[in-house]
């Protein structure tokens, strides 16, 4: 049996009927031959114009890949042409993976969604909130595991926005910590920007959740991910650091550490195909090629918007925009496809992206997966949105500024 909170949440979240929202494949521009050719032409032209050094795009429907191509150069430690086997730094696209690891532990009753974080990490037992006027007060309630999963913990980031809490984050060298345990302790000493459970604010919550996974499982994060997700799903090229020759396949510059400090999203390297396999397992309800990592009802729970259910308000810097909520690990579309949107997606679509230029989406209504990886921070949002517009709308607007 799963925990009581898990069952309660399942009961509160009604299943979304996606059947009526699906459309025939030939009516989706990106799935016609002309649509696929258009995608090839646009990405080839982007490389020629040096708007991006290179990219790999996978488009799949009904469990079958209909487009998987590499464009441009690798521009990495070992220069050469980008190939389908090239790997990219995932950055924030590690977040859905770590969340999946946590949900595996929820199924095994090693974690509960309503557990206080301090049960696993005592340093978070007496958190304080610092508002924009410099007034500090005790947090109204503990941070819960669900708060970490949903970015409603009151934690934040320091690399964007302003205010006293973000200034405090900017003064800390998070990359100087030697492991997840030390990183979590450093974060616990910082004030919260909001009271837990009041606002959605993009944050270091998943860094802390990664440490919770270690404590609850008794394994290091990389070992847990390898054993419970990567190996079962046949994700052969993904992993932290230089093992298995990944550094030679890296797209983009920078040093790849042999044994990186985790979570180190910039040190988790993955090919587009590996991330597609992870995405396909979620679309399949937690299973791929006969190997199951999650129950179907768990995946359904992850792919629902829980912000509305929990009456969570957007913070000052919510990135998802109008028409998007947040599930367990990724943003969730809460409206029908908007043809005017820069990021069109049917109701129930989930997506996330990474700072380095990676992005993915899963569309359960039409059984579509898109994985787009480029090794450039420039125009990453433009090209992530353009790929979706080409698939759903066939639009080819010229590139704009970030």
Same domain, 387 and 287: yes
Whether residues 54 and 126 fall in one domain: no
Q: Same structural domain for residues 381 and 270?
A: yes
The answer to whether residue 149 sits within a structural domain is: yes
What is the domain range of residue 302? 4-91+237-392
Instruction: Please report, for the domain that includes residue 331, its CATH number.
Output: 3.40.710.10
Looking at the structure, tell me whether residues 384 and 267 fall in a common domain.
yes
In terms of domains, do 108 and 134 share one? yes
Query: Do 382 and 247 share a domain, yes or no?
Result: yes
pLDDT in tens, the chain (402 residues): 444 554 455 554 444 444 444 555 557 899 999 999 999 999 999 999 988 899 999 999 999 999 999 999 988 777 789 999 999 999 999 999 999 999 999 999 999 999 999 999 999 999 999 988 889 999 999 999 999 999 999 999 988 888 999 999 999 988 888 899 999 999 999 999 999 999 999 999 999 999 999 999 999 999 999 999 999 999 998 988 777 778 788 898 777 777 666 655 567 899 999 999 999 999 999 999 999 999 999 999 999 999 999 999 888 876 666 788 999 999 999 998 888 887 888 999 999 999 999 999 999 999 999 999 998 888 888 999 999 999 999 876 544 434
Residue 63 Cα distances to 236, 296, 336, 370, angstroms:
19, 16, 23, 12
Element (H, E) at 77: none
Distances (CA, A) of 335 to 16, 241, 313, 340: 12, 39, 17, 13
Structural domain total, the chain? 2
- Is residue 30, in this structure, part of any structural domain at all? yes
Helix (H, G, I), strand (E, B) or coil at 353: strand
């Amino acid at each position: 049996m799963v925990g009581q909170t898990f069952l309660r949440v399942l009961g509160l979240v009604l299943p979304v009927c996606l059947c009526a929202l699906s459309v025939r494949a030939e009516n989706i521009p990106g799935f016609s031959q002309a649509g696929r050719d258009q995608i090839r032409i646009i990405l080839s032209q982007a490389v020629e114009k040096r708007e991006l050094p290179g990219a790999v795009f996978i488009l799949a429907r009904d469990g079958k890949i209909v487009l998987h191509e590499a464009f441009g150069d690798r521009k990495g430690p070992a220069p050469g042409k980008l190939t389908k086997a090239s790997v990219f730094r995932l950055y924030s696209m590690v977040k859905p993976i770590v969340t999946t690891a946590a949900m595996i532990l929820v199924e095994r009753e090693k974690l509960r969604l309503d557990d206080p974080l301090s049960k696993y990490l005592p340093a978070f037992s007496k958190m304080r909130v610092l508002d924009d006027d410099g007034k500090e007060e005790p947090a109204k309630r503990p941070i819960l595991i669900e708060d970490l999963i949903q970015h409603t913990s009151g934690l934040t980031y320091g690399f964007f926005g302003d205010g006293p809490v973000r200034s405090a984050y900017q003064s800390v060298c998070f990359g100087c910590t030697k492991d997840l345990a030390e990183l979590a302790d450093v974060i616990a000493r910082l004030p919260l920007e909001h009271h837990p459970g009041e606002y959605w604010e993009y944050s270091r919550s998943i860094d802390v959740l990664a440490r919770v996974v270690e404590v609850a499982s008794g394994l290091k994060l990389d070992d847990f991910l390898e054993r419970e997700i990567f190996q079962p799903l046949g994700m052969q090229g993904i992993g932290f650091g230089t093992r298995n020759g990944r550094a030679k396949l890296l797209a983009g510059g920078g040093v790849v550490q042999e044994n990186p400090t985790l979570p180190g999203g910039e040190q988790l390297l993955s090919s587009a195909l590996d991330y597609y396999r992870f995405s396909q397992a979620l679309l399949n309800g937690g299973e791929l090629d006969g190997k199951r990592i999650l129950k179907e009802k768990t995946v359904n729970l992850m792919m629902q918007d829980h912000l509305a259910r929990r009456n969570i308000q957007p913070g000052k810097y919510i990135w998802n925009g109008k028409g998007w909520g947040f599930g367990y690990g990724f943003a969730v579309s809460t409206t029908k496809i908007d043809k005017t949107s820069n990021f069109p997606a049917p109701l129930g679509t989930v997506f996330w992206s990474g700072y380095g230029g990676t992005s993915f989406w899963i569309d359960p209504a039409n059984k579509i997966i898109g994985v787009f990886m480029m090794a450039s921070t420039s125009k990453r949002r433009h090209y992530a949105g353009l790929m979706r517009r080409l698939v759903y709308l066939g639009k080819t607007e010229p590139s704009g500024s970030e």
